[in-house]
Amino acid sequence: MIRFEHVSLHYGNQTILNDLNFEIKEGQFAVLIGPSGCGKTTTLKMINRLIQPDSGHIYLNGEDVAKTDRYQLRRRIGYVIQQVGLFPNMTVAQNICVVPRLLGTPKEGYDDLVRRMLAMVDLPYESYAHKYPSELSGGQQQRIGILRALAASPPVVLMDEPFSALDPMTRRSLQLEIKQLQQKLNKTIVFVTHDMDEALDLADLIVFLDRGNIVQAAAPEEMLEHPATQQVRDFLGSHISGPSPADLTAADVMRTGVVVVNQNRGIHECVSRMQHHNVDTLLVVDEARRYQGTVSITDIRLTGHVVKTIGPLVRNNTPTVGVDDNAKDCFDLLASSGFPYLVVLAPDKTVAGIITKTSMAAAMAEHLWG
Ligand SMILES: Nc1ncnc2c1ncn2[C@@H]1O[C@H](COP(=O)(O)OP(=O)(O)O)[C@@H](O)[C@H]1O
Ligand SMILES: [Mg+2]
């Protein structure tokens, strides 16, 4: 329906849009999103030829808009902007009929058109048709702005941050209304916003721009599942859910910074390290920091006087798991083994961390409540 092919624009030596390529299908609700100044408005205005690209083409139903008469485009493309821009000296009815009048639609149909239009947004004709914009609330004015864009029945409607000046309640209700209208009337809508909530609610296709480049063009679900960059992820923010509980691994539920001791160290050093860290066992590693086992204060008390290094006191019975092992399996092992902790090993057999009941509970709480 709308296709951008290698569209670029420069102002002086500044690149405003850099080789945009994307397609919006008929009946789709496409949302252009991105940080302020990324080129959303510029992109939108190219569709109805308010701005022309330096290079590339924009096709509307296969027809190059650069070769389409502006008057023809107006008939086919409605346009709604943030500052509604209703004509203050015209009534609601007259405002709605601006485009039909420009297009030379016979006057006899206007009354009926205005009735149908107002009915779509639940504004009774009798109370509203003859009011002036100044007599309407911001939300009502924006509704009339939308109706004005729809009045000539264009298949495509461009909307540039149409709701951003409205309070959240009004905004919400207009979002629902525009989505319903779009589905009922089967319009193709290109909608600019910098609000990801709005984009996710409304869009079939989200085109994410940054500094004139398309960072990602995807359906909302796809974007949520596979955000292309950290910037997209930041925009999605709280909408991105963490891994599901079934996907958690040992690494997600372990605690790190575990105290280890080399197997060649003496009894004395081992004891002082235990005292310093206030623990009654230490993990023992070799020169390459690979896990060898554990040593406990109990064993040191019993037989520490007959050995020089801790090597002979190392026990190998504490259960070990790998960093990628399933967290639920670790939980079951911890519960059934009777040991106070599990040792988590990296693939090279070095110590990655330990899983205790506390570290497990903390990870679960984090997952449940954030
Ligand atoms: N007439 C202009 N002359 C020079 N630069 C402009 C002009 N209009 C817009 N720009 C620049 O083009 C970039 C894109 O602007 P715009 O499309 O309005 O961004 P957005 O709508 O995403 O906030 C911005 O960096 C802006 O400063
Ligand atoms: Mg803008």
133 and 216 assigned to the same domain: yes
Best of 42, 47, 83, 194 for a ligand 1 pocket test (most atoms within 8 Å of beta carbon): 42
What is the per-residue pLDDT for 241? Answer: 67
3-12, 49-58, 297-306, 345-354: least confidently modelled range: 297-306
Instruction: Say if residue 21 is in the same domain as residue 58.
Output: yes
Beta bridge partners of 214: 209
* 235 and 257 part of one domain: no
Query: How remote is the CA of residue 212 from the centroid of ligand 1, in Å?
Result: 9
90-136 tens-digit pLDDT? 999 999 999 888 888 888 989 999 999 898 888 999 999 999 999 99
- Taking CA atoms only, the protein residue closest to ligand 1 atom 8 is 42
User: What mean pLDDT value characterizes the chain?
Assistant: 92
CA angle 303, 308, 312 (to 5 degrees): 60
pLDDT tens, residue by residue, 292-326: 999 999 999 988 788 888 999 999 999 999 999 99
Between these two residues, 46 and 74, which has the higher pLDDT value? 46
The three-class DSSP label of residue 63 is: strand
Measuring from atom 5 of ligand 1, which residue has the nearest CA?
11
Please count the structural domains in the chain: 2
Beta 281-285 vs 291-296: how paired, if at all?
antiparallel
**294 and 184 share a domain?**
no
- Mention every residue, 6+ apart, whose C-beta is less than 8 A from residue 194: 33, 34, 35, 36, 40, 161, 164
Here the CATH number for the domain that contains residue 159 is: 3.40.50.300
Q: Which residue, of 187, 211, 239, is where some domain finishes?
A: 239
Residues 210 and 277 in one domain: no
| Strand-strand pairing, 205-210 and 29-33 | parallel
235 burial type by CB count under 10 A (0-12 exposed, 13-18 middle, 19+ buried): buried
* Contacting residues for 257 by C-beta, under 8 A, at least 6 apart: 353
Query: 193 in ligand 1 pocket by Cβ < 6 Å?
Result: no
Of all atoms in ligand 1, which is nearest to the CA of residue 38?
22
Confidence band, pLDDT 50/70/90 cuts, at residue 242: low
* Same structural domain, 140 and 97: yes
Full domain range(s) for residue 340: 247-369
Higher pLDDT, 208 or 119: 208
Query: Tell me, what's the pLDDT at 157?
Result: 94
Q: What are the tens digits of pLDDT across the range 336-370?
A: 999 999 999 999 999 999 999 999 999 988 878 86
Amino acid at residue number 340 = P
- The domain boundary residue, chosen from 171, 206, 239: 239
* Beta-carbon neighbours within 5 Å of ion ligand 2: 41
Give the residue-averaged pLDDT of 133-150. Answer: 90
